[in-house]
Amino acid sequence: MNAVQVKGLGLKLGGRQVLTDLSLSVASGEFCVVIGPNGSGKTTLLRLLAALLVPESGKIELFGQPLGRYSRRQLARVLALVPQQAPTDFPFSVRETVLMGRSPHLGLMAFERATDLALAAEAMAFTDVSHLADRRLDQLSGGERQRVIIARAICQQPRLILLDEPTAALDPAHQIKILDLLERLRQERGVTVIMVSHDLNLAALYGDRLLLLCEGRADRVGTPVEVLERARLERVYGCTMVVEEDRRNGFLRVSPVPARYRKD
């Protein structure tokens, strides 16, 4: 079954066409990376998928059901959104923050049950933040905070997790750690992952399917090899690019070419 089915999506914001006739299918358990230049509509697409914005045209289905038919609460049981910036002024402990992921599953005024506490402990172990459980979120490093926000999303037990540049502020080792975590989530629990990223190399490393957006339209949807073509990237990003296969590991590497190295 498709986790996400988007057809003919269009949206205008502030009088400007931000997304045009966008279609995308993401299979259940797939890792999809949305790439594209600044302002191409990546965050807007995530916000539409999370029902934070309503499209003007087209339709969105999650797990076979129109998005509009989900109540807020039902949606929170199916989908978790990890925003671009983890909050920095958040006076809660790591454990409290992660437990907030359980709220869509609790009754009105209900307290967490033992199973909720166990799920929070498991999510903290999964993201390697158990040792930080009693620390306040606003006293952690950027990488630690990001892992806690992902732990909260995992604790929510979603079938679909949407992430907006979750690794933008992290060093390469922490980037890989977070993305390996998402990959494990996908493999071990069948969670579908849709991630917005500026990093074409990370997209090549982790994406089963890439969506390349250009001025609000899908320029190409496909595997990394299908999407990360040199001429296509040069046209979309407007700069000279190198795309090469790392023969030892079998993945693609993409790099823009600075003027000082250009031979033409």
Binding mask 147-186 toward ligand ADP (x if CB under 6 A, else -) reads ----------------------------------------
Contact yes or no for 8/23 (Cβ under 8 A) = yes
Cα distance from N-terminal residue to C-terminal residue, the chain: 48
Q: Which of residues 4-23 bind ligand ADP (CB under 6 A)?
A: 13-14, 16, 18
Cβ-based nearer residue to ligand ADP, 39 or 172: 39
Minimum CB distance to ligand ADP, residue 41 (Å): 5
Contact yes or no for 148/92 (Cβ under 8 A) = no
Helix (H) or strand (E) holding 246: strand 241-246
Minimum CB distance to ligand ADP, residue 188 (Å): 30
- Region of 224 please: left (phi>0), alpha (psi -120 to 50) or beta: alpha
Cβ-based nearer residue to ligand ADP, 39 or 66: 39
Minimum CB distance to ligand ADP, residue 212 (Å): 11
Minimum CB distance to ligand ADP, residue 105 (Å): 30
Cβ-based nearer residue to ligand ADP, 133 or 168: 168
Cβ-based nearer residue to ligand ADP, 40 or 201: 40
DSSP 195: E
Binding mask 57-96 toward ligand ADP (x if CB under 6 A, else -) reads ----------------------------------------
Under the binding rule (CB under 6 A), the answer on residue 238 touching ligand ADP is: no
Minimum CB distance to ligand ADP, residue 14 (Å): 3
Query: What pairing do the DSSP bridges indicate for beta strands 209-214 and 217-222?
Result: antiparallel
Cβ-based nearer residue to ligand ADP, 39 or 68: 39
At residue 202, the 3 state secondary structure works out as helix
Cβ-based nearer residue to ligand ADP, 44 or 156: 44
- Distance in angstroms (rounded) separating the CA atoms of residues 176 and 100: 26
Cβ-based nearer residue to ligand ADP, 99 or 228: 228
- Distance in angstroms (rounded) separating the CA atoms of residues 99 and 21: 39
- Distance in angstroms (rounded) separating the CA atoms of residues 135 and 113: 22
Helix (H) or strand (E) holding 160: strand 160-164
Select from 210, 213, 252, 203 the least CA-distant residue to 230.
252
Which residues neighbour 92 within 8 Å (Cβ) at sequence distance 6 or greater? 100, 136, 137
Minimum CB distance to ligand ADP, residue 47 (Å): 8
Q: Which of residues 25-64 bind ligand ADP (CB under 6 A)?
A: 36, 38-44
What number of chain residues touch ligand ADP (CB under 6 A)? 12
Minimum CB distance to ligand ADP, residue 221 (Å): 16
Q: Which two tokens stand for residue 219?
A: 């320029």
- Distance in angstroms (rounded) separating the CA atoms of residues 100 and 196: 24
Residues that bind ligand ADP (CB under 6 A): 13-14, 16, 18, 36, 38-44
